């Protein structure tokens, strides 16, 4: 009986230790990226861009939120952080370097992130 309890306890501990999560720093970086993506989508008039960049930005916003909810971040907390980031970046000009860094961060952080973004892009319209 003791062995069974030990095995079950170990199994629970190992699963909990391997659970996906974002550090506070990574969560804040993700919110910054979402703010940048939203700024890309709502670029001021006269700003040049490729339409596919807007699509990828919006898809990335959706993928970040879905992932955040999957790993247990409360929707209200995610939305509050997103709103602050959008306020921070809204109206800014397109910055290719920041955007590319955000895409890299997403792809390195979210399992199958690149594929998930591509799937969402295909469903936008």
Closest Cα to residue 28, out of 90, 77, 98? 77
At residue 31, φ and ψ (nearest 5 deg) are -60, -40
Q: What is the mean pLDDT of the chain?
A: 84
pLDDT higher than 60, residue 14 = no
Separation of alpha carbons 90 and 38, rounded Å: 7
Residue 18: alpha-carbon gap to chain centroid: 19
pTM score > 0.85 for this model? Answer: no
Question: pLDDT (tens digit, 9 = 90+) per residue, 33-87?
Answer: 999 999 998 886 666 677 788 899 999 999 999 999 999 999 999 999 999 999 9
Cα of first residue to Cα of last residue in the chain, in angstroms, is 57
């Amino acid at each position: 009986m003791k062995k069974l309890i030990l095995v079950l306890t170990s199994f629970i501990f190992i699963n909990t230790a391997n659970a996906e999560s974002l550090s506070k720093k990574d969560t804040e970086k993700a919110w910054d990226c979402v703010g940048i993506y939203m700024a890309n989508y709502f670029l001021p008039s006269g700003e040049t861009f490729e339409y596919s960049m807007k699509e990828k930005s919006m898809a990335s916003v959706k993928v970040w939120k879905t992932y955040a909810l999957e790993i247990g971040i409360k929707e209200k907390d995610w939305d509050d952080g997103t709103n602050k980031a959008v306020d921070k970046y809204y109206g800014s000009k397109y910055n290719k370097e920041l955007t590319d860094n955000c895409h890299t961060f997403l792809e390195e952080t979210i399992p199958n992130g690149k594929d998930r973004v591509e799937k969402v892009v295909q469903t936008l319209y």
